[in-house]
């Protein structure tokens, strides 16, 4: 059996394209539909109620296009809304928190893992819980880095402005400061993180800068590769894999600026996605 229906991907903006990129590498026969809610990005400063409502509206759009499975390629939505979304929609839905947590636990050697994420994701403690479920003895230090997502959405991925923002964002985790209100730690005396988990799918677009600032002693982990592996298993177990030999189709939608969105897809995918289309969500302001 071969299921040729597309896989749906949803993110608050362009960040989930990093997950899509890994899925296409792992599952080249699959067709995809990607929806970025760029008009309402970022989700991190939003209330939990808004995140749930926006996520449901985006998944309504994907479900209406007969996707066979949905990847919530947004850490904030995965952390806040995944349980509600699974209750509402009658198809497999995969988040990015659990795969990322598993990858971080496999990476760490000293059992000290730092997590950078949006304010909403840190508030939810989703990564803390997921990492502790994998290994209760891993110490987890979560830190909100709110200036990174708007910067990525604006296409600022390198240069002095981006480097300064990354340095400011990582400083509390790397220096162990205890005077930062939104840092859920302090760092234990005499120890440091050896693994930094990028708890937002926007952040891999800054991966080279983040690795440079973090230094060679810290492994930088994102959830994209682990999510692609989890998706492959989910499709296989449920008999949903596509096995055809002809070219799959890929469709991109954004609720925001098409030209800005296209600049990021060009950077990541080149000519693979020939067009980006606008979409207006039912219920969106």
Mean pLDDT computed over 51-77: 97
pLDDT 10s digits, 43-58? 999 999 999 999 999 9
Distances (CA, A) of 240 to 33, 39, 60, 198, 203: 16, 32, 20, 29, 30
What is the C-alpha to C-alpha distance for residues 102 and 282, in angstroms, rounded to an integer? 35
Q: By the 8 A CB rule, do 78 and 14 touch?
A: no
Which of 147-156, 186-195, 239-248 shows the highest mean pLDDT?
Answer: 147-156
Question: pLDDT category, 273, cuts 50, 70, 90?
Answer: confident
pLDDT 10s digits, 110-126? 999 999 999 999 999 99
Task: Tell me the backbone φ, ψ of residue 184, rounded to 5 degrees.
Answer: -95, 70
Mean pLDDT computed over 163-192: 67
Residue 241 has pLDDT above 70, yes or no: yes
Catalytic residue ranges: 74, 200
What is the C-alpha to C-alpha distance for residues 242 and 90, in angstroms, rounded to an integer? 20
Q: By the 8 A CB rule, do 14 and 43 touch?
A: no
Indicate the length of the chain as a whole number. Answer: 285
Q: By the 8 A CB rule, do 193 and 5 touch?
A: no
What is the C-alpha to C-alpha distance for residues 235 and 233, in angstroms, rounded to an integer? 6
Average model confidence (pLDDT) across the chain: 92
Q: By the 8 A CB rule, do 284 and 39 touch?
A: yes
Report domain extents, the chain. 7-95+225-278, 97-223
Mean pLDDT computed over 80-109: 97
What is the C-alpha to C-alpha distance for residues 270 and 153, in angstroms, rounded to an integer? 18
Residue 105 has pLDDT above 80, yes or no: yes
Question: pLDDT category, 179, cuts 50, 70, 90?
Answer: very low
Tokens of 50: 């808004």
The CATH number given to 97-223 is: 3.40.50.1860
Mean pLDDT computed over 89-107: 97
Q: By the 8 A CB rule, do 140 and 127 touch?
A: yes
Distances (CA, A) of 73 to 11, 14, 99, 100, 225: 5, 10, 11, 11, 12
Residue 236 has pLDDT above 90, yes or no: yes
Question: pLDDT category, 208, cuts 50, 70, 90?
Answer: very high
Handedness of CA 95, 99, 102, 108 (dihedral sign): negative
> Is CATH 3.40.50.1860 what the domain over 7-95+225-278 is classified as, yes or no?
yes
Q: What is the pLDDT of residue 240?
A: 96
Q: What is the pLDDT of residue 189?
A: 42
Could you give the 3-state DSSP secondary structure of residue 184? strand
Number of H helices, E strands in the chain: 11, 11
């Amino acid at each position: 059996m071969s299921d040729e229906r597309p896989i749906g991907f949803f993110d608050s903006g362009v960040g989930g394209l990093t997950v899509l990129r890994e899925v296409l590498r792992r599952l080249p026969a699959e067709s995809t539909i990607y929806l970025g809610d760029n008009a309402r990005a970022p989700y991190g400063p939003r209330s939990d109620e808004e995140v749930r409502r926006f996520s449901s509206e985006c998944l309504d759009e994907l479900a209406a296009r007969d996707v066979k499975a949905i990847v919530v390629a947004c850490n904030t939505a995965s952390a806040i809304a995944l349980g509600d979304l699974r209750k509402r929609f009658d198809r497999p839905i995969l988040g990015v928190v659990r795969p990322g947590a598993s990858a971080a636990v496999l990476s760490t050697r000293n059992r000290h893992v730092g997590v950078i994420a949006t304010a909403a994701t840190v508030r939810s403690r989703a990564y803390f819980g997921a990492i502790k479920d994998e290994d209760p003895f891993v110490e987890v230090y979560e830190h909100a880095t709110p200036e990174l997502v708007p910067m990525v959405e604006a296409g600022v991925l390198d240069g002095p402005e981006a480097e300064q923002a990354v340095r400011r964002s990582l400083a509390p985790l790397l220096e162990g400061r205890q005077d930062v209100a939104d840092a859920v730690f302090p760092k234990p005396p005499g120890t440091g993180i050896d693994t930094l988990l990028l708890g937002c799918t926007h952040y891999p677009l800054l991966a080279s800068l983040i690795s440079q600032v973090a230094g060679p002693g810290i492994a930088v982990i994102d959830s994209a590769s682990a999510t692609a592996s989890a998706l492959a298993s989910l499709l296989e177990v449920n008999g949903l894999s596509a096995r055809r030999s002809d070219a799959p189709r890929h469709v991109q939608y954004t609720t925001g600026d098409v030209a800005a969105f296209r600049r990021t897809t060009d950077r990541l995918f080149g000519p693979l996605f020939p067009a980006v289309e606008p979409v207006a969500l039912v219920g969106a302001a």
